Structure formats: C-alpha cells, structure tokens
Amino acid sequence: MSSQIDHLLNENREFPPSPEFAAHAVAKPEIYERAAADPEAFWAEQSRELLTWAKPFTEVLDWSNPPFAKWFADGELNLAYNCLDRHVEAGNGDRVAFHFEGEPGDTRTVTYSDLTDEVKRLANVLEGLGIGKGDRVALYLPMIPEAVAAMLAVVRIGAIHSVVFGGFSADSLRARIDDAGAKLVITADGGWRKGKVSPLKPAVDQALADRDGKGVQATVENVLVVRRGENDVDWIEGRDVWYHDVVPQASAEHEAQAFPAESPAFILYTSGTTGNPKGILHTSGGYLTQAAFTHRNVFDLHPESDVYWCTADIGWITGHSYAVYGPLANGATQVLYEGTPEFPKPGRWWDVIEKYGVTIFYTAPTAIRGFMKQGREIPQARDLSSLRVLGSVGEPINPEAWMWYRDVVGAGTAPIVDTWWQTETGAIMISPLPGITAAKPGSAQVPLPGISATVVDEQGTPVDNDNGGLLVVTKPWPSMLRGIWGDPERFVDTYWKMFADKGFYFAGDGARLDEDGDVWLLGRVDDVMNVSGHRLSTAEIESSLVAHEATAEAAVVGASDETTGQAVVAFVILKESFLRENSAAGLADELRKWVGTQIGPIARPRDVYVVSELPKTRSGKIMRRLLRDVAEGREVGDTQTLADTAVMSVISAQVK
C-alpha cells in the first residue's frame, strides 16, 4: 500500500477539457460559485428544476436535530412518477429507457411507455398482495428489466425496498429480510451468469425456512417470482406467486400518490466494522434531487442523444443511484446487461458498447485492471468511437489504469470522472466535472457544487495542502443517509461521534490534499475492506470463519491485490483435533468455500493461512497492521506493543 501511495504522490499529469467538450457541457464553471454562495438555495433550485413536485416545498434543510436531517420536508412527490409518468406525459414515451441485453444474447427494448405500463401493473399487484406505505419489500433478482420495475413499483406505492445482491447467500439474505421485517420477497427462478443459470429462488426458500428454531418470527407473506432462468423451482402454494401469472393481467391504470419528501424510499445493507451489516436508510426528495443532479452534471448527460451504461448491479448503491433513479429521473436511455464481462468470451462488454453506441460508460477500477491484463487488442478490435465520457467508482483508481482507460477505451480524448461516494452518501460527492476540471489520473479531485467536504486531522482541524488525514463531509447534503434501520444509536456512533463537536460526517476513508487542494483517496482507515469495489467487513468474515467447527480463532485483513484492489486474506488457528485428522491445506480450502457459501462468493478469502498464533496486544486486540505486512509480503513493522513479540516470526515462517 505504501509503495502505491508514493506512486500516487509522484503523479502530476493533468488533462484539461477540450474547448469543444467545454462548449457543449451541461455544467458551466460558474456553477461552483453559485453553489458556494448559498448551498441550500442551490439545492432548492436544482430540485425544482430537475424534479416534479406534486406539492412544492417551502423549507429546504432542517438541521435542528443533527445528525437527523430533513430536506424539502413540507414538499410531496412520487419517485416513480418522476422517473416514468412525467416523461411519457412530456411526449417522450417512445424514448428507449433500456436496451436490455441478456447474457445468452436475448434482447428487449423497453421504452418509457413500456416501463411505466409495467410499473403501474406491478404496483396494482403489490397493493393486491397487501403491500402499502411503509412496508418493506426485499428484492433478490438478476439484472433484468423486472428488477428495475420492481424497485419503482415499490416506491410508487410508498413502500420501502431492500435490494439484496443476487450473489449473497441464503444466510445473508435471511439476515437482511429479518432485520427489515420484509413482508414480500420479489425474486426470480434464476438468472444467467457465465453461461449457466444461477438459481435464486432456492436461496429465498432456504432463507424463509426453519425460522422456528431461530426464534425469529417469519414476516414474509408472499414470494413473487419472475421466470427468467427456466430452472425447476420448489413451490409453496398460497405463498409463492408467478410474476407472469399476475402482472400482465393486472390493470395498467395506477395513479401515483404523492408522499412527503422524507418518506423512506429504500434500505440498502452495507458492511461496517462489526459482524452485522447496517441497513442504510434513504428517503425520497433529497435523494432523488442529488441522484438526478449528479447524474446529469458529472456524466454530462444529454438525454436526447446519449446512450448511458452503468455496469453496476442493482444490488449495490451504484446500481440504485446510477442505473435506476438518477438516469430515469433524467429521462436517459440506458443499457442494462445481465451477465459477466467474459461471456461467451472476453470482450463482451466492448461488443455491447459497439452494438448500442454507448456514449457514457461508468464502471469500476477492478474491471478496468482486469481488461488491462487481457490486453488492449480485445477492446481495440471493436469500434468504441461512440464513447465520450468515462466514469470510475468504488475504489481508488491507480494512474496506470486511469491512463489505460483514457487511451484504450476513450481514444485518448474522453474525459474520465473518478467519482467518490458511498452507500451512505447516496450520490456522488467528490468528482471532476467534465468540461470544467483539468483531470488528474488517480484523483477524485473536488467536492461537487453544493457539497462541503475536506480532509482533517484527528482533532478535526483541516489539514493544509500537501498533507494527509481523514475525509469528512462538513455540511449536510440532500442524499445523505437518514439513519441505520432500527438502530439510531449505531448511526450516531459510526458516523458522527468521531467529530461530534464539529458536526462533521466521518466517512471512514483516509485522503490527502495535493498542492492544489485536490483530494486523493487513500483507502479505508477502519476494519473495512474494499474488494473489487465492494465493501466487506473483516469482522463479518471472521465470525463466519469461527462458525466453522474446525476453527479456533480467525483474523482477516485486506491485502492489496493487483486486480481487485484489495483481497481477503485470513489467518486461522485450527482446533488440534481437526488438524490431527485432516491436512492443513485441505482445511484451508474448505474454509475458503465455507465463507463463500456462508456470506457469498465475493467474500471468499483469496488466501487462508493456517497459523498457530495471532498477534495480539496486551489487551487482546488483534494487530491487523502486522498481519497485513505478512499478507503483502513486506517486512513486519513495529511489534513492540504485542503481548508476545516473538509471535510474528512464528507466523511469518508459517505462511511461507
């Protein structure tokens, strides 16, 4: 990591926007001053301009009870109406909302009229199943148009969605369903991944089975199932309902009722520093305002002519804000692709870009590094000349990957926007604006207009340029999380306690300001890992490892990885009785698979090292810093605070 940071700090290339791009850009340089002069007035203006309010708001920000913010509180709107009906009413019903491409190669063109119609029918079905305002609906779906329709139908009726990434296990799904008290699950039989049907419904069945022994009340009344994979599924009469049996038959008349701006829209679970994922709560008016504003300005969206593609799954916040709410509120035409980049062979993504003439492309550094490894011949064999804006998200992008992205994918001209934000922030916070910012490879650069963020030391004092520290947001923002579902205390403790006297939001990231004051993200400073742009908690994986009968103790660290940014590396102490009967290598492999089935394949450790001791302080805290040194093949740092200073040489010898 430290060599990467040195490397970053030596990076001094700059790429100013071309005059042609600047001339047609959505955002003009004066936007920064306008926003800084009166941020609240700025957000109010953006909200009125970008959204349609059924009842206009007169209040902007209510920060009288920090950190519980209210934005536009006396206004009323309907999120689905803003994403759908109003575009149809404006005469844009025939505009393509989604060019859907299934992994097997099947395609569907979904216009704004089509999607509006589908959502209205589904809204009627949901109401028929007894779902109403404030009820929670869990979604566990592949990347198909029905997934987008489901999200919008849920918010249309004032219910709350909780999308669970389809790669999570039955146990992870169960934990999320129970925490939110979901009344309905919307899933599919299965979806296509890597040339095969990856079943989903069985995981839902398993998640809903045998509650009794666990002392948890089952809250789910129905399971609505989309047919996609055509795999055989078990069926519980009375509980399970086929989507195709009820949605096409339902009425396409459904009037969108307006809800107060602070009505909850969705919960999205993300990992923190403890074992239990946090249900991040987002509400309506402020969320949609910032999602729409950032989508339009950061990506320079011209909705009449652009074809936009965000590769994120809807199971993550990027999929929520930049594949559903932001783009649809802006009336954008998007690509929705179901599968993996490598199917049926490397280059599928470039084929999709060529086929649909994608102009704006938003993906993660991990994907870019993966493509770099395969070689530039693959993208160069396709016509990518339609691309004019490239985005990056989820993890720091190293300058090499940035340059490759620009040169090979963007023909050496497309501006790159490196967007920093989080599940909690709801929308982009720090990013260049194409057409304005002179881009620096590897830096997220500047807070967006209307956003106040900076880098501070541990006392909360802003650092000078050319210094590092902790990234904080210093003023409330419209799409900020409104809490952690069911746990207001954890919300305050996690994000607001660190700088309570200043009222700063602590993001958990380390960052540096360069000599111009631009922000360079340096990774998490807490026990959270970032693997392929996805957040994983060390504690969550440790508790999965110790849940295995062979494990006595476990410590997990994120070690830097050439492709995935960080990789999960576990150090485990096994029980003697198991080691007597099995090989350490065999048990290590079993544990890797175990985590994959317990949490999901993304959490599967890259390496599991069987060791006889773990480095602990006198108070018993595991010193992950030292384990990270071992995992990254470095000389082990200062061991003075260890209870037993000899432990590290034992461990180093054991992992060789």
Interface positions with ligand WT7 (CB under 6 A)? 270, 317-318, 393-396, 418-423, 444, 507-509, 521, 524, 530, 533-535
In the complex, minimum distance from the CB of residue 431 to ligand WT7, in angstroms, rounded to a whole number? 8
Closest CB 534 distance from ligand WT7, rounded Å: 6
Q: Select 259 or 485, whichever has its Cβ closest to ligand WT7.
A: 485
Residue (396 or 449) nearer to ligand WT7, CB: 396
- Shortest CB 497 distance to ligand WT7, Å: 17
Query: At which residue do the structure tokens 């870019």 appear?
Result: 368
- 463: Cβ contacts below 8 Å, ≥ 6 apart: 455, 456, 457, 469, 513
User: CA 547, 552, 554 angle in degrees (round to 5)?
Assistant: 75
Asked if residue 323 lies in contact with residue 363, where contact means CB atoms within 8 angstroms, the answer is no
Give me the least distance between CB of 533 and ligand WT7, in Å please.
6
Q: Any bridge partners for residue 84, and if so which?
A: none
**Separation between Cα atoms, residue 265 and residue 160, nearest integer Å:** 5
* CB 380 to ligand WT7: min, Å: 26
Q: Judged by CB, which is closer to ligand WT7: 124, or 270?
A: 270
- Min dist CB 493 to ligand WT7, Å, is 17
| In the complex, least distance from residue 422 CB atom to ligand WT7, rounded to whole angstroms | 4
Using CA atoms, how far apart are residues 646 and 644, in angstroms rounded to an integer?
6
CA distance 324 to 20: 30
Contacts of 51 (CB under 8 A, 6+ apart): 77, 82, 285, 288, 289, 292, 329
Backbone angles phi, psi at 119, to 5 degrees: -65, -40
Determine contact, residues 416/392, Cβ cutoff 8 Å.
Answer: yes
- Omega of the bond leading into 462 within 30 degrees of 0 (cis): no
Can you tell me whether residue 563 is helix, strand or coil? coil
Q: Is the Cβ of residue 347 or residue 396 nearer to ligand WT7 in the bound state?
A: 396
Nearest distance in Å: CB 260, ligand WT7? 26
586: Cβ contacts below 8 Å, ≥ 6 apart: none
Going along 61-113, which residue ranges are E strands? 61-62, 70-71, 76-77, 96-101, 107-111
The rounded distance, in Å, linking the Cα atoms of 80 and 325 is: 9
Nearer to ligand WT7, 154 or 444 (CB): 444
Compute the distance between CA of residue 254 and CA of residue 259 in angstroms, rounded to an integer.
Answer: 15
**How far, in Å, CA of 202 to CA of 210, rounded?**
14
Compute the least distance from the CB of residue 635 to ligand WT7, in Å: 26
Exposure string for 433-443, b = 16+ CB within 10 A, e = fewer: bbbbbebbbbb
Closest to ligand WT7 by CB, 306 vs 395, is 395
Decide whether 81 or 505 has the Cβ nearer to ligand WT7.
505
96-111 burial, b for 16+ CB within 10 Å, e for fewer?
A: bbbbbbbbeeeeeebb
Q: Judged by CB, which is closer to ligand WT7: 169, or 530? A: 530
Chain length of the chain: 656
State the minimum distance, in angstroms, from the CB of residue 347 to ligand WT7: 25
Q: Which is nearer to ligand WT7, 165 or 609 (CB)?
A: 165
Q: Which is nearer to ligand WT7, 87 or 320 (CB)?
A: 320
Minimum CB distance to ligand WT7, residue 345 (Å): 28
In the complex with ligand WT7, the residue whose CB is nearer, 84 or 298, is 298
Min dist CB 559 to ligand WT7, Å, is: 16
Q: What is the DSSP letter of 409?
A: I
User: What one-character DSSP code corresponds to residue 378?
Assistant: H
Q: Which is nearer to ligand WT7, 154 or 507 (CB)?
A: 507
d(Cα 43, Cα 214) in Å, to the nearest integer? Answer: 47
Residue 635 to residue 231: CA distance in whole angstroms: 51
Q: In this complex, which beta carbon is closest to ligand WT7, that of residue 139 or of residue 393?
A: 393
- Residue 600 makes CB contacts below 8 A (sequence gap 6+) with 165, 167, 168, 169, 172
Distance CA 529, CA 603 (A): 10
Closest approach of ligand WT7 to the CB of residue 421, in Å = 4
